[in-house]
Amino acid sequence: MPSPTEILGIDIGGSGIKGAPVRLADGSLALERHRIATPQPSSPQAVAAVVAQLVRHFDWHGPVGCTFPAIIKGGVAHSAANVDKAWIGTDAAALFAETTGCPVAVLNDADAAGVAEATHGAARGRQGTVLLLTFGTGIGSALLLDGKLVPNTELGHLELDGREAEAYASDRVREIEDLSWKNWGKRVSRYLRHLEFLFSPDLFVFGGGVSKKWDKFAPYLEVQTEIKPAVLRNEAGMVGAAMAAATLGCAVPGGTEHAG
């Protein structure tokens, strides 16, 4: 069977679930994205029903890639960030495959953004160590070495000055504490310098919703490493999810797997 040229990418977040068919050749969206509010509570069955709704919206019958805000190993969620704790231990890939009737691959949301930026965005063609960071409610991370993903790094949970980094420098903290762009930039710089010490990266890619306001805080980022804003921004998760479904093993209805 020929490899697909398009795959449906779905990005699952704490407030919204969005999807669109993605052209694998260039990472562009083949149709306008469709977004549905994340159900509350965001139980596995409730979220799976929304994923199935998106599949029906696009009348989709091929492979599907999904991001999820958790540590994901073999399609199974081992944590739950901003979603119902019932997800911990759930085989998300198998659940989505059964609910949609499609082959499904699932990966961490920041990892999906990293894969997308490495292929079609700010880290395209970059060798060496690249760290993509998403600043939003928390801080997500994707570590890439010579363009290959090292999954589930969760570097937003590193301890920094006695507390978790994301409790110090996330975009949510900026809003709650009403920090100026300059003061928030100083906090982000402190965090980035800690990552420089630990990983000696060749490039930082700055993602998350706040990356749209790059010009407001970029002048206050003081690091030695080259830093670029993400190119794909809100589409990165969907694009990376679709790419993962093309390369990872997909769970298929019935409980077996096949190589994507």
Give the model confidence (pLDDT) of 159-169 as tens digits.
998 999 999 99
- Domain 6-111+236-259 matches domain 126-230 at the CATH topology level: yes
For the record, the structure tokens of 244 come out as: 């993962």
Helix (H, G, I), strand (E, B) or coil at 192: helix
Question: Which pLDDT tens digit goes with each residue over 68-112?
Answer: 999 999 999 999 877 899 999 999 999 999 999 999 999 999 999
pLDDT for 259: 42
| pLDDT of the residue at 254 | 74
> What's the pLDDT score for residue 256?
52
Q: What tens digit of pLDDT does each residue of 172-199 get?
A: 999 999 999 999 999 999 999 999 999 9
Q: Which CATH superfamily is domain 6-111+236-259 in?
A: ATPase, nucleotide binding domain (3.30.420.40)
Range 122-147 average pLDDT = 95
In whole angstroms, give the CA distance from residue 122 to residue 206: 9
Q: Which residue type does 197 have?
A: F
203 has pLDDT over 70: yes
Rounded to whole angstroms, what are the CA distances from 93 to 70, 75, 187, 251? 13, 5, 37, 6
Mean pLDDT of the chain: 94
pLDDT at 137 over 90: no
Residue 24 has pLDDT above 50, yes or no: yes
Q: Which residues contact residue 80 at a Cβ distance below 8 angstroms, ignoring those fewer than 6 apart?
A: 69, 70, 86, 87, 88
* Residue 74 near residue 257 (C-beta atoms within 8 A): no
Per-residue pLDDT band at 257 (split at 50, 70, 90) = low
pLDDT digits (tens, 9 = 90+) for 206-254: 998 899 899 999 999 999 999 999 999 889 999 999 999 998 778 888 7
Domain ranges for the chain, please list them.
6-111+236-259, 126-230
What per-residue confidence (pLDDT) applies to 247? 86
Domain 126-230, architecture per CATH = 2-Layer Sandwich (3.30)
What's the pLDDT score for residue 37? 95
Q: Which residues of 116-138 are buried (b: 16+ CB within 10 A; e: fewer)?
A: bbbbbbbbeebeebbbbbbbbbb
